[in-house]
Amino acid sequence: MALLFRVTRPYAALFVIVVGAIAQSTSAFAIDIQRVETPGGLEAWLVEEHAIPLVTLNIGFRAGGVNDPAGKDGLASMLSSLLDEGAGDMESLAFQKRLEELAIRMGFSAGRDTFSASLNTLSKNKDEAFALLKLALMEPRFDEEAVERVRDQFLVAHERQEEDPQTISNRTWYEKAFGDHPYARRALGTGDTIKSITKEDLQNYLKTYLARDRMFIAVVGDIDAETLSRMLDETLGDLPATSPAISEDVLEIENTGDVSVVERDIPQSVITFGTRGLLRDDPDFMPAYVMNYVLGGGGFASRLMEEVREKRGLTYGIYTYLLPLDQAGLYMGQVSTENAKAGETLSIVRAELQRLRDEGITEEELKNAKTYLTGSYPLRFDSNAKIAGQLVAIQLEELGIDYIDTRNDLINAVTLEDVKRVAERLIDPENLIISIVGAPENLDG
């Protein structure tokens, strides 16, 4: 009997622990990723696991806060909080009660560049679980009671963020770096923008951006490819086929060296520092990833933690990270310290950045970074939900279905020369963009 979908099974390499949410038992399985193409033209990556009667579905849309219309900051985030607040003929309470009765977990979230949906269900309930997901995406009610309740929650969250030094420091940094670009907007909106969002705004965003041409799917668990193919077309096939073109513009962050201070009467200064980074498809991304582990991404193993916390006791923690957005690459860090020590802390950060740029890293640091980064990678796949999340992320980043098998090889191929080249390319200690919240002292010395 001819099947109406195509499946490929060429990839099996990584051993992981698959954790059952109910059974709480563990077994080792090789990840065998199948590419499933449905008659309706959808594609999904599937990892079959029949030992535990669970199915996990993750969907990622290339949409997010970046698509919020001007003056409607927070729209994508508010939509993500409302999609499970009633759908079809079920009001919010009835919808949530049915999810609870069937032990179904459904969730939505929005980031700067992504909008995500997740579904976890017992395999015996998968038909109704997928049907409820379809209702949430295709027929959300946006009842006035639910909209106003969620709006109030967002307003409370906004008020809290207005008092949170870390949030203010990050927000100030993004505003300085991105100006009037949507990346500078507030993900949860402002008081005015939250109040301005209407039911029509929610409906328009849903119909415009949650479209099949922006969608990436991963499924893990007790379901076969033929069944999944049918259910995906039934569940997602009626979403809009196309959406507005995604911007291909790449923003070049200007390393101005500006220091912005937001005065607050608090005992510590929260310092956010950053510079231009790399897009995810940049050939230097893996060398930069290894470099970052040594500088500030390796916890207590990192240079900044050693110099700023361990040797001088200036902070409880300091960290750096690469952030490859769709339209801009960033290299960011944050530290909190006593106001009187803000200038000293910044001086040490700059000195360590300069040392890395001038000298690179040592052979031992390179070895330790590789050992940790490759050895910890399987921990990203120790549950069905994590596997599905990773597979969607790999699709969104266009890394290829074999990335799980090749990723550690890419890290192991990084050389000292690669790290030194990337350090010279990225690091510019005197021209960092810096935002500080608090009452910092001695910034000039």
What's the confidence (pLDDT) of residue 5?
33
pLDDT of residue 210: 98
Residue 23 has pLDDT above 70, yes or no: no
> What pLDDT is attached to residue 252?
87
* pLDDT value of position 445: 59
21 and 64 both lie in a single domain: yes
- Is 13's pLDDT higher than 50? no
Going by pLDDT thresholds of 50, 70 and 90, the confidence category of residue 6 is: very low
Same domain, 225 and 274: no
- The one-letter code for the residue type at 438 is G
Residue 238 has pLDDT above 70, yes or no: yes
> Is residue 9's pLDDT more than 90?
no
Q: 28 with 92, same domain?
A: yes
pLDDT of residue 418: 98
Identify whether residues 283 and 232 lie together within a single domain. Answer: no
Sheet order of strands, 6-19 included: 6-19, 26-37, 43-48, 215-221, 54-61, 115-122, 105-110
Tokens coding 224 = 């076969």
Q: How far apart (Å, rounded) are the C-alpha atoms in residues 87 and 412?
A: 49
Q: Which of 180, 201, 236 is the last residue of a domain?
A: 236
Q: What pLDDT does 361 receive?
A: 98
> 225 with 266, same domain?
no
Domain boundary among 204, 236, 268: 236
Does residue 414 belong to any structural domain of this protein? yes
Q: Give me the pLDDT at residue 12, please.
A: 32
The pLDDT assigned to 256 comes to 86
Note whether residue 1 is domain-resident: no
Task: Report residue 296's pLDDT band, with 50, 70 and 90 as the boundaries.
Answer: very high
Among all chains, which residue has been given the structure tokens 């395999």? 123
Task: Check whether residue 121 and residue 171 sit in a common domain.
Answer: yes
Per-residue pLDDT tens over the stretch 240-259: 999 999 998 999 898 889 99
User: What is the residue whose two structure tokens read 């005065």?
Assistant: 263
Query: What are φ and ψ of residue 390, in 5° steps?
Result: -65, -40
CATH of the domain at 114: 3.30.830.10
* Rounded Cα distance, 392 and 128, in Å: 23
Kindly report the average pLDDT of the chain as a whole number.
Answer: 93
What tokens were used for 9?
């099974």
323 has a pLDDT exceeding 90: yes
Measured distance CA(261)–CA(192) in Å, rounded: 24
- Note whether 214 and 264 are same-domain residues: no
Write down the pLDDT at residue 330.
97
pLDDT attached to residue 444: 82
> Is 244 among the domain residues?
no
pLDDT at 289 over 60: yes
User: What domain range is 273 assigned to?
Assistant: 259-438
Mean pLDDT of 76-100: 98
Tokens found for residue 252: 């070049």
180 and 136 housed in the same domain: yes
Same domain, 92 and 208: yes
CB-CB contact of 18 with 52 (8 Å): yes
Q: Are residues 306 and 227 in the same domain?
A: no
Termini Cα distance of the chain: 77
For residue range 188-197, what is the model confidence (pLDDT) as tens digits? 999 999 999 9
Residue 248 located in a structural domain: no
Q: What is the mean pLDDT of residues 46-60?
A: 97
Q: Are residues 28 and 95 in the same domain?
A: yes
Reply yes or no on whether the pLDDT at 72 is more than 80: yes
pLDDT above 70 as % of the chain: 93
The answer to whether position 252 is within a domain reads: no
Residues 156 and 13 in one domain: yes
Q: What is the pTM of this model?
A: 0.91
Count of domains in the chain? 2
Residue 127 lies in a domain: yes
Q: What is the pLDDT of residue 255?
A: 87
d(CA 111, CA 97): 27
- Whether 253 maps to a domain, the answer reads no
Answer with the one of 236, 251, 275 that is the final residue of a domain: 236
Domain assignment present for residue 349? The answer is yes
What tens digit of pLDDT does each residue of 97-140 get? 999 999 999 999 999 999 999 999 999 999 999 999 999 999 99
